[in-house]
């Protein structure tokens, strides 16, 4: 399920992306900070990959691994992000 122009997406946008369009996927719902018209198919594939990752690994495990890798490796080197960036191109 996708939610657009949602306060959760806007909160994460302000916290992590300087107010630029942002999305956060929690379980099987993606919260976008912007309206649907601004969401590209590439961006959707990225977020759909995060939905699959969370379904496969479990929400708790996903969050733990994601946050740990973000702290220790940096955002660009989080395994889940690497996989999601590859999914953008498929």
In this predicted model, what pLDDT tens digit does every residue of 69-84 receive, in sequence order?
Answer: 999 999 999 999 999 9
Residue count of the chain: 90
Give the span between the Cα atoms of 64 and 47, in whole angstroms: 18
pLDDT digits (tens, 9 = 90+) for 18-59: 889 999 999 999 999 999 999 999 999 999 999 999 999 999
Report the predicted TM-score, pTM, of the whole model to 2 decimal places.
0.91
Q: What per-residue confidence (pLDDT) applies to 16?
A: 87
Nearest 5 degrees, angle CA 31-CA 50-CA 83?
Answer: 140
């Amino acid at each position: 399920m996708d939610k657009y122009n949602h306060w959760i997406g806007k909160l994460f946008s302000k916290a992590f992306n300087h107010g630029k369009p942002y999305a956060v996927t929690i379980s099987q719902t993606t919260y976008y900070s912007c309206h649907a018209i601004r969401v590209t198919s590439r961006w959707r594939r990225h977020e759909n990959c995060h939905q699959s990752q969370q379904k496969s690994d479990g929400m708790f495990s996903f969050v733990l691994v994601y946050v740990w890798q973000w702290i220790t490796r940096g955002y660009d080197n989080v395994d889940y992000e690497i996989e999601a960036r590859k999914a953008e191109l498929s």
